[in-house]
Amino acid sequence: MEKATFGAGCFWGVEAAFRKIKGVVSTSVGYMGGHFPNPCYLDVLSRITGHAEVVQVEYDPQIVSYDDLLAVFWDIHDPTTLNRQGPDKGEQYRSVIFFHNAQQEQAARQSKAKLQMEGKFDRDIVTEIKPNSEYYLASEEHQQYFEKKGRH
Catalytic residue from among 8, 10, 16, 52: 10
Q: How far is CA 73 from CA 41, 65, 151, in A?
A: 22, 13, 20
- Asked whether 25 and 58 are in contact (CB, 8 A), the reply is yes
The yes-or-no answer on residue 40 being catalytic is no
8 A C-beta contact, residue 108 and residue 126: no
The 10 Å Cβ neighbour count of residue 108 is 25
Just list the catalytic residues.
Answer: 10
